[in-house]
Chain A
Amino acid sequence: MRPKKAKKIVFKSAEEMPIMICSVGDQTHNLTGAWRNIRPEIDLSKCIKCGICWKFCPEPSIDVVDEWPVVDYDYCKGCGICAEECPAKCIVMVEERR
């Protein structure tokens, strides 16, 4: 799992800024999981460990740990692409618990 210590960077002056518009740190302070309305839940008993959910996740918020997929809910926005692509149909999108 990635560290989540990063803070939002705000430059105090133009002189400190890189001249090109590029990321200077990471965006891990921005916990996009809070945007989620539906969440993926993986039924590992049906999982065939093909890695397709990991490959398709656009964020990317699915890690493979000891060959099994694990969703990082701090960042998963709930787009549902993993559930759509899963060939074993072992991922379902369920309404987010608030």
Chain B
Amino acid sequence: MVEIRFHGRGGQGTVVASKILADAIAKEDKWVQAYPEFGVERRGSPVVAFIRINDKPIYDKSRIYAPDHVVVVDPTLVEAIDITEGLKPGGMIIINSDRRPEDLPFHGKFEVRTINATAIAVKHKLGSLAAPIVNTAIAGAVIKILGLAKPESLATAIRDGIAIKPDDNIKAAREAYEMA
């Protein structure tokens, strides 16, 4: 079983990212469970989403307290909250950032990978310049780094699940997949 926690801000598509990923992973004949933090969301406030992935049906319906990996959709959260809380030793942190992993504070304690999802989203005109929608680019990087799904599965999941600019979103995911 693999458990992943996503950190983002309301309005960035963090919950949608976890749902799209779940969809892509399910296409590879795995069992998957995805859920947002149980509560109310507001644009701009920190939000959390979770994914469980397993080869067998998933019976554990409790929340995830000790994730194997953490995905950070919004780099400004690093200063606001402890994104490493409960993260298992040896766990991976995948973060949307234009910096190098060794320049980030938790480098050394955990394995850190960075992907400049914001730049990819801006390039493909996803969202606005002020608020780019980075979730599909993040998803592309995550499936590559953690070996969760083929890019084709993710492309199908994006086409099924995202109504706005599906082609540009698929391109962004693919570009992030190649870069990661």
Whether the complex brings A and B within 8 Å at their CB atoms is answered no
